Amino acid sequence: MSPHLLAAPLLAGQRRALARAITLVESTRPQDEASAQELLTELAPQGGRSIRIGLTGVPGVGKSTFIEALGLWLAERGHRVAVLAVDPSSVRTGGSIMGDKTRMPGLSVHPQAFIRPSPSGGTLGGVARRTREAMTLCEAAGYDVILVETVGVGQSETQVAGMTDLFVLLTLPNAGDELQGIKRGIMELCDLAVVNKADTDPKAANRAQSQLTAALSLLTSHAAEWHPRALQVSALTGKGIEGFWEAVQQFRGEVDLSARRRSQTAAWFDELLREAVWKAFAAGRAEELAAAREQVQAGQQTPVQMVRQLIP
C-alpha cells in the first residue's frame, strides 16, 4: 500500500498537515474513515513516547489558566505541547466552548504548542474516539505532552481517564464544601488532585490539600502501584507548576504506562465492538424491538425469556 499523503509532512511536524489529519479523523464520511484509519495504522509505531494528561474540574476552577501556565512553562523547557478537549456540551449544541484560543492566549500562538477544540456533534463516544485518534496524530507530529481537558460533568471524565496516562482533578481552596460535591467516582479516577487558586486563601488551600489527601488515601489500597496525591498551585502566578511537573515525573517513574495503555486499548476495542454488535443487531428492527420491550413491560414474558427468543 502506498504511504498516506499526509504521513510524511505530519511526521516532519508540519502543523498544517496535523490540522488536516485531525479534520480527516473527525470526518464522518465513509471514504474519509477508510483513509483516516490507514493513516493511523501507518503512524501507530510513532506513538507511545509522550505523556498524556487528562484534566477535569468544574467551569471556573481555572483549567484554561492552568493549561496556559503549565503549557508555557513546558514549552520554555523544550517540550512540545498539544491541547485537546472532550466537551460534552459540544455533543448537545454542535458548537464547542472548549479549546477556544482566546482562553489560552499565550499558548495558542506559541510555535511549540498546538491547540485543537473539541470535535462537535455525534455521541460522547464518538467525540471521545476522535479525540483519542487526534492524540495519536499529535504524538506522531512530535508533541511529547498531550493535555486533554474535559468539563466536570458526567461521563466525559470516565472517557478521558480511559484514554490518558494520568488523570488530574482541579479543585478550589474551599474544598470542605466542595468535597461533598465532588463525585466519589471522579476521586477514584484521579491520580493527582490539584487545589488551584491557592493564592486567594493560603490557609483554606492547606486545609483543602489535607482533606483531599485523606480522602484519596481512603480510596487507594496499600498495594497500589501509585498513591494519588494532592497538591496546590496558583495557575495565575505560576506557583506550584514546577511541583506539579515533578509529581508527573514521579508518576512516570513508578507506573507501568505501557501496561496501562495496553489495557486501555483493549477496553476501547471491547467498547467499539459492543457498539458495533448492537448496531448490527438493531439495524432495521426498531419496531420489532419496541414490540418486544412492550411485551416485557406488560409481563407477557420475562426479560430473560425475551432475550433468549431474540438471540437463541
The least distance separating ligand GDP from the CB of residue 234, rounded to whole angstroms, comes to 4
DSSP string, 119-186: P-SS-HHHHHHHHHHHHHHHHHTT--EEEEEEESSTTHHHHHHTT-SEEEEEE-TTHHHHHHHS-HHH
The least distance separating ligand GDP from the CB of residue 200, rounded to whole angstroms, comes to 5
Query: Across the chain, where does the E strand assignment appear?
Result: 51-57, 81-86, 113-115, 145-151, 166-171, 192-195, 229-232
Contact call for residue 243 and ligand GDP (CB under 6 A) = no
SS3 category, 202: helix
Contact call for residue 63 and ligand GDP (CB under 6 A) = yes
Contact call for residue 101 and ligand GDP (CB under 6 A) = no
The least distance separating ligand GDP from the CB of residue 139, rounded to whole angstroms, comes to 24
- Where do we find the cell 495557575? 235
Do the beta carbons of residue 116 and residue 134 sit within 8 Å? yes
Residue 155, C-alpha cell as written in the block:
461521563
Contact call for residue 64 and ligand GDP (CB under 6 A) = yes
Site map for ligand GDP, 171-200, x if CB under 6 A?
-------------------------xx-xx
The least distance separating ligand GDP from the CB of residue 201, rounded to whole angstroms, comes to 9
| Spatial CB neighbours of 167, under 8 Å, sequence gap ≥ 6 | 53, 54, 55, 56, 157, 160, 161, 189, 190, 191, 192
The least distance separating ligand GDP from the CB of residue 231, rounded to whole angstroms, comes to 13
Which among 17, 134, 27 is positioned nearest to 86, based on CA atoms? 134
Do the beta carbons of residue 90 and residue 124 sit within 8 Å? no
**What is the C-alpha separation between 306 and 301, in angstroms, rounded?**
6
Contact call for residue 57 and ligand GDP (CB under 6 A) = yes
Subset of 195-224 contacting ligand GDP (CB under 6 A) = 196-197, 199-200
Contact call for residue 62 and ligand GDP (CB under 6 A) = yes
Instruction: Please identify, among the stretches 25-33, 72-80, 172-180, 228-236, the one whose residues bind ligand GDP according to the rule CB under 6 A.
Output: 228-236
Instruction: Please identify, among the stretches 33-41, 77-85, 232-240, 241-249, the one whose residues bind ligand GDP according to the rule CB under 6 A.
Output: 232-240
- When binding is defined by CB under 6 A, the residue of 28, 37, 48, 59 that contacts ligand GDP is 59
Do the beta carbons of residue 157 and residue 93 sit within 8 Å? no
- Residue with Cβ nearer ligand GDP (7 or 186): 186
Residue 109, C-alpha cell as written in the block:
500562538
- When binding is defined by CB under 6 A, the residue of 19, 153, 179, 236 that contacts ligand GDP is 236
The least distance separating ligand GDP from the CB of residue 189, rounded to whole angstroms, comes to 18
| Spatial CB neighbours of 264, under 8 Å, sequence gap ≥ 6 | 162, 163
Do the beta carbons of residue 195 and residue 232 sit within 8 Å? yes
Contact call for residue 152 and ligand GDP (CB under 6 A) = no
By CB under 6 A, the count of residues binding ligand GDP is 15
Residue 176, C-alpha cell as written in the block:
470542605
- When binding is defined by CB under 6 A, the residue of 65, 158, 174, 213 that contacts ligand GDP is 65
- When binding is defined by CB under 6 A, the residue of 60, 111, 284, 312 that contacts ligand GDP is 60
In the complex, which residues of this chain contact ligand GDP (CB under 6 A)? 57, 59-65, 196-197, 199-200, 234-236
